[in-house]
Chain A
Amino acid sequence: MNCREVLDFLNAYLDRELPLETMREFDAHLAECPACVAYVETYRQTLAALRTCSQSPPAGMDPVPEEVIQAILAARVDAIS
């Protein structure tokens, strides 16, 4: 397996969807390629960072203004009248 193939298979590798033999080839390449190890680690960190963004809305974001709420309520009245 070469570096290009490692990156092509990376998502499937992390999701453990590769056939066993391909997983072994992937691991064997990582054992010999510091560049791909660096890439895989920073790719994993990118995914971990993305997971932090799926939490609740950040503290300090302003709530929806009252006039927007009133506009929604008025739009419903228009829709059903």
Chain B
Amino acid sequence: MDMLPRTDRPPAAGEGPSESDLVTSLRAGEEAAFEAFVRQYCDPMYYVARRILRNDEDAREAMQEAFLSAFRKVHQFDGRAQFSTWLHRIVINASLKKLQSRRRHEKHTIDAFLPTFTDDDHHRIEPRGPALSTEDLVHRNELKDIIHHQINELPEIYRTVILLRDIEGLDTEETAHLLETTTVVIKTRLHRARQALRTLLEPWLAGDNP
């Protein structure tokens, strides 16, 4: 996930500082630094939170919490990763906490979207092959919207894993740590989520254009 700050947003004052200058200023507690920090990173952080939480209000609250958390913890940033990468993890963490705090009844079954087999282990329903080459497929303008819409159809525990692994780009160990589970569980959920997404995308992949 690209967490680079938007360059077309008007800077708080003059030119936006570099990452290293910003970190130095934040650690020094400079007032103007926090505002510059918020203005430079609010858009990419909001987009990450919005993808995970799916509504504006929760995304804004998670983003606010993420900024405050980053400001409190800036002294812990050791510079081994890029600052934007560190922020990416913080906003994901804040978004996941918000997600867990929601008291919603979420369906957990994904079985309806998974392939089924006959007694002799053949496909019960013949899979449909691709109508387009992969290169042509990924250049379809509406593809991203279709993907996001279909990901939102998945049960939450599977949606979260596919978001973190395949869209936010976290590795298996990191995802397991954030979701407080094991890498084995993450791998299983990810494979089931991908299979389910393939089922949901099959009409488009097969050229039906629904």
- Contact status A42-B127, CB under 8 Å: yes
Which listed residue (A36, A41, A63, A64) contacts B130, Cβ 8 A? A41
- Contact status B167-A38, CB under 8 Å: no
- Contact status A11-B39, CB under 8 Å: no
- Contact status B198-A42, CB under 8 Å: yes
With a CB–CB cut-off of 8 A, which chain A residues contact B169? 54
- Contact status B68-A76, CB under 8 Å: yes
Q: In chain B, residues 1-52, which have Cβ atoms closer than 8 Å to a Cβ of chain A?
A: 1-2, 4, 6, 9, 34-35, 38-39, 42-44, 46-47
- Contact status A43-B39, CB under 8 Å: no
With a CB–CB cut-off of 8 A, which chain B residues contact A49? 137-138, 143, 147, 201
In the assembly, what is the distance between CA of A75 and CA of B38, in Å? 12
With a CB–CB cut-off of 8 A, which chain A residues contact B130? 38, 41-42, 45
Q: In chain B, residues 128-169, which have Cβ atoms closer than 8 Å to a Cβ of chain A?
A: 128-130, 134, 137-138, 143-144, 147-148, 162, 166-169
Asked if B92 CB lies within 8 Å of chain A CBs, one says: no
Closest-by-CB residue of A relative to B148 is A53
Chain A residues within 8 Å of chain B by Cβ, number: 41
Interface residues of A: mostly helix, strand, loop or mixed? helix
- B52 vs chain A, min Cβ distance (A): 13
With a CB–CB cut-off of 8 A, which chain B residues contact A51? 138, 166
Q: Mark A1-18, 1 if CB is under 8 A from B, else 0.
A: 011110100110000000
With a CB–CB cut-off of 8 A, which chain B residues contact A47? 166, 194
In the assembly, what is the distance between CA of A50 and CA of B47, in Å? 16
- Contact status A72-B166, CB under 8 Å: no
Q: Report if A3-B167 is in contact (Cβ < 8 Å); known contacts: A76-B71, A79-B68.
A: no
Most buried by B among A35, A46, A61: A46
| Chain A residues close to B by CB (< 8 Å) | 2-5, 7, 10-11, 35-39, 41-58, 61, 63-64, 68-69, 71-73, 75-76, 79
Q: 14 interchain pairs (CB within 8 A)?
A: A3-B123, A38-B128, A39-B127, A42-B127, A42-B201, A45-B137, A46-B197, A54-B169, A68-B42, A68-B60, A68-B63, A72-B63, A72-B67, A79-B68
